[in-house]
Structure 1
Amino acid sequence: MLGQSPRPGFHTVTPYLVVDDLDRMIAFVKDAFGATEHYRTQGGGGGTHVEVRIGDSMVMIGGPDTPRHSMIFLYVEDVDAVYAAALKADAISTMPPADDLFGEPRGAGVQDPCGNDWYFANWTKRPDAPPAA
């Protein structure tokens, strides 16, 4: 289920921070950790999605169009199988599997039994895809 290679420049697991003041957070990670911004887009819900590199890792940052404070982002081979396994392990659905979700070919989301949000998607290189990090 987790065997698929993620987007170029990403690892399987990517933290996703959701903040009220996106510009302040971007300035912080740049000043504190030497982050470099690689991608920025405006979401359909009015929020902004930014991807920054810190060392050899990517961090996704978005806001403020969601009540979440953070989530874990996973690149997976089979979104539907991971979604079903998560529900079987007592997760609560936050986004059922759907095609073309937030720019990914297929994605879904759950909240684990401890209240953490997980979003997972598969990755297929498309002409409109964000650049490699």
Structure 2
Amino acid sequence: MTDVQPIPDGYTAVTPYLVAEDAAGLIDFLTNAFGAVERMRMPMPDGSIAHAEVEIGGAAVMLGSAMPPEFPPTQAQIHLYVEDVDGVYAQAVTAGATAVTEPEDQFYGERIGRVVDPAGNVWSIATHVEDVTPEQMMERMAAMMDEG
């Protein structure tokens, strides 16, 4: 008998699962926008996708085609850390994302821009630019609120 790990190799305890009307199109977008590498795809006879997995920056993202009523299309918000926020943001928009907020340095120590993918998922594309303590974050947020 072999030991089976509760979390398989190559996965983390929390793994996003995206459900889209056009799962194949979402895979194409993730590949072009974020350099996703397709791990596997289980196509259905009608061309929809029962289950697929891609890897982005070493993290698994699972996805599949919407199959209402059990699996309706849903939208998620995903925080994606990258080295070059501005470059990846531009690449995502070129790949078909809708721009939400342009990359900008934030009080909590990240440079971040947001896009919406063709399936309606919001991607916060970020890089860590400064180590900020929780106390500093609270002070900066309070100062920002006073200015606003």
TM bin (shorter chain):
0.3 to 0.5
Q: TM-score, normalised by structure 2?
A: 0.40
Q: TM-score, normalised by structure 1?
A: 0.44
- Give the number of the structure whose residues are more often strand, by fraction: 1
RCO higher in structure (CA 8 A, sep ≥6): 1
